[in-house]
Structures are given as C-alpha cells and as structure tokens.
Amino acid sequence: MKSFNKTLIAVAVALTSTQTLAAGFQLNSQSATGIGRAFAGDAVIADNASVLSRNPAAMALFDTSAFSAGLTMADVQVDVKDVSFKEGAVHLGSIDDAGTTKIIPNVYFIHPVNDKVAVGFAAFSNYGTGTDTSSLSNKPVVPFDLLGNTEVTTVNFNASVSYRINDIVSVGVGLDAIYGEGVLTRDMGNQALVDVEADGWGLGGIVGATFELNENNRLGLSYRLSPTINVEGDIKAAGKMHESLDVPLADIFQFAGFHQITSNFAVHYTAQFTQWGNFEEITLINSAGNQALKEYKWKDSWLFSYGGTYTINDQFTVRAGFMHDQGVVNELSSLSMPDSDRTWYTAGLSYHINPKHTVDFGIALVKGEEVDLVEKSLIVGPVNATTKSGAMYYSVQYSYQF
C-alpha cells in the first residue's frame, strides 16, 4: 500500500504541468495570431506584443509601445477505449471524452525605452490540462491507482529586456516566474485513496536573438531555461501527509524564420527542440530524505511548423499553418497522460480596425495518433487500453499599437 500511495501522488503532481495537446507538458495557446499560423515564425514575426512569449529579443523590432490580450478556448478530446486487465479477461469499457475544455487568457505589453532598449511584461500559460477517467471505476476490483479526476492550471509571469546591438543583431533576456496549482482525486468506492490540492512556484528564464538580414528577411533564436517546480499543500494518501514534490520541466530551444516574398505574401517556419529526456522522475521531498516516486523515461522531442500570411488589403490579413509535434513517451506509457505524435492544421484572420487597433482570430484542428498501451497497476497488474487525443482551439485577441 505504501508504494501504491506514492505512485498516486507522483501522478498527481506530474499532471500539475501536463499537456493540453502538445508534446510532454507543453501548451500552444499563447496568442490568436500564433494559433492561426501554427506558431510558425512566432519567435521573430513580431506583428504584435505576443512575440514576448517566444523571444524577448524581438521586442527590438518595435518602434512604439504595443499591447495585446486574448483568450483561447482549448476543447480537448481524449478517447480511452477497450480498457482491460488480466490478459483481457476483465473489460472496463471505454470513455468517448475524458478531456475537458479550458479557457486560457494571455496579456502582453512591450515598451521601447529608446532606439536601443525595450522592456516587456507578460502573463500567459505554458501548461494546463484536465482529464477524468473515473467513470471506468464500475467494477468491484479495478485499477483505482490509474483512474480518477485531475485539474491543473499554470500561469507564467515574464519580465524581459532587449538590446539592439546594430541594424542586424538584437538580443534579449527574460525572467519567468511560473505558478502552478493542481487537484487530484483517486477513489476506491466511497474511500478517498488520494486527495491532493497543491501549488507552487518556480523560477526560470529565456534568452534570445534576432537577425534582420534585410527588410524582408529575418531569423530568430531563443532558449528557455525551465525550472523545477516545488509543489506544496495538502498532499495526502491513506492518511499520510507529505511535505512537497519536485517536478522538473524541460528546456526549450527554438529557431524561427520569416520571409516577405511579395508585398502581400510571406512565409515563416519554426523548428523547436524540447529536452524532455531530462524528465526522468518525480521526487518526493520530506524531512526524512528525498526519494524517487515514479520513473517516466521520456525522450527529447522536435516540433516543426510551417505557415503563410497573406495581406488582402489594409483591413484584412489571413494566415494558415501546419505543425508536426513529436510525442515524448518512450518506454513507459500512461492512461493519465496519453501521448502520441500530433498534427496541427490551423487558420487565422486579422481585422485591422485602423492602424492602431487590430482584432485577431485563430482556429486549430489537432489530430493525434491512436496508441495501444500497457500500464502497470499496483492493484490489478498490467492494464491494456487504446488512447487517442485531439482538440479544437478557438482564439481571439485584441492588439493596440501606441
């Protein structure tokens, strides 16, 4: 029972930074313009202040102050099918939709201090999810340690500064303060095996650079150093309280390009490497000593996106994008965190009310692959299931150029 309870707590805090249809813990929802182009070129396009979420150096591309704020609705679909154990002798059934719908806000402000220096402040989300597989607990003996409800919210608070070295090169650096909170329940009938409500902070940072080759071509680089989040609160299992848990997050490297082909049409792209291979385990922190709770053995992943933007006239701009996002699960799989390679198909529209005011809309269809998995339950042994995840993203954003 002691090992069983530790596993449940590990799952709880792992989901404090889990995925909403992106590899590992990552969440792609930082702006409507980004969603509309599958975030292709987002670290260097700088058409509004939301570029701050990807590359602080791109603030140097702004001549005047800029403000952006938006909302994204992520309607996540997670199908869990044909759940069984004892080599298929016991079937628990399927869930057509174990995912949830989340509303994700964001806000950004960039202010050029002079022709060399700019500062920016932002609040957005990189992580968040919600899943509920408790409806599968419909028999006297089931894998209670794998089934239940999880809700997670995170917020990234960022402060950044950029410096223009010359007409070509600009650099930037930022500080990230990440707040996360999560709730997990795992019940065996009327008995609460696990009841967790925890939150915590972590400090990270980001550095970036932009290269303006000429007025029509530019490149961007950024590297986000991610923290280990220490989560504290009510971490209870079978009547035992635990002090906190450490959850390591992955570093992210991003390369982006933007090329204005004609006066109306531009192409852009992004290659992103996320170092999920460092996410090996969740660590329990107690006064008696630290110990590993659960191993994950994830692998590093790549994301590639391509997009195009077409300016119809002074009032309307349209965009579209395509993204391929690699999954991170390697040797160990999970019902709580279904993962696979994913493909994004996106489109967006900007309505320029006037040169200062713009309203943006973005939509994305995310399609994951069907995966057959086996996860070991400490109650019933190996559990077989087939999972598939997908989503629809809907986003709106307002931007103002001072």
Task: Give the mean model confidence (pLDDT) for residues 174-179.
Answer: 93
pLDDT > 70: percent of the chain? 77
pLDDT tens, 337-375?
Answer: 667 788 999 999 999 999 999 999 999 999 887 777 777
Residue with tokens 């986000």, as numbered in its chain = 224
pLDDT of amino acid 131:
65
pLDDT of amino acid 243:
80
Whole-number Å distance between alpha carbons of 194 and 192:
5
Whole-number Å distance between alpha carbons of 54 and 71:
17
Cα Dmax for the chain: 71
User: Domain boundaries in the chain?
Assistant: 2-401
Going by pLDDT thresholds of 50, 70 and 90, the confidence category of residue 301 is confident
pLDDT over threshold 50, residue 6: no
pLDDT over threshold 80, residue 202: yes
pLDDT of amino acid 198:
81
Identity of the amino acid at 15: L
- Considering only residues 378 and 171, tell me which one the structure prediction assigns the higher pLDDT: 171
Whole-number Å distance between alpha carbons of 158 and 121:
6
Whole-number Å distance between alpha carbons of 231 and 13:
7
pLDDT of amino acid 135:
66
pLDDT > 90: percent of the chain? 46
Whole-number Å distance between alpha carbons of 198 and 25:
17
Which secondary-structure segment (H or E) carries 5?
helix 2-14
- Short-list 108, 80, 101, CA closest to 92: 80
Going by pLDDT thresholds of 50, 70 and 90, the confidence category of residue 8 is very low
pLDDT over threshold 70, residue 11: no
pLDDT of amino acid 214:
95
Q: CB–CB of 47/148 below 8 Å?
A: no
pLDDT tens, 234-279?
Answer: 877 656 777 887 778 888 999 999 999 999 999 999 999 988 777 7
E-assigned strand segments in 87-190: 90-95, 101-112, 117-124, 128-132, 149-164, 169-188
* Most confident stretch, 158-167, 296-305, 329-338: 158-167
Task: Give the mean model confidence (pLDDT) for residues 103-127.
Answer: 93
- The per-residue pLDDT of the chain, averaged, comes to 82
Task: Give the mean model confidence (pLDDT) for residues 288-307.
Answer: 79
Task: Give the mean model confidence (pLDDT) for residues 161-178.
Answer: 97
Whole-number Å distance between alpha carbons of 40 and 24:
19
Tokens representing 299 are 């692998």
pLDDT over threshold 80, residue 143: no
**Architecture of the domain whose range is 2-401:** Beta Barrel (2.40)
pLDDT over threshold 50, residue 382: yes
* Most confident stretch, 90-94, 98-102, 127-131, 157-161: 157-161
pLDDT over threshold 60, residue 19: no
- Short-list 164, 156, 258, CA closest to 208: 164
Q: What is the DSSP letter of 306?
A: E
Residue 42 in 3-state DSSP? coil
pLDDT over threshold 60, residue 16: no
Q: What share of the chain is helix, strand, coil (3-state, %, to 5)?
A: 10, 60, 30
pLDDT over threshold 50, residue 52: yes
pLDDT of amino acid 319:
98
pLDDT of amino acid 380:
76
pLDDT of amino acid 136:
65
pLDDT over threshold 80, residue 176: yes
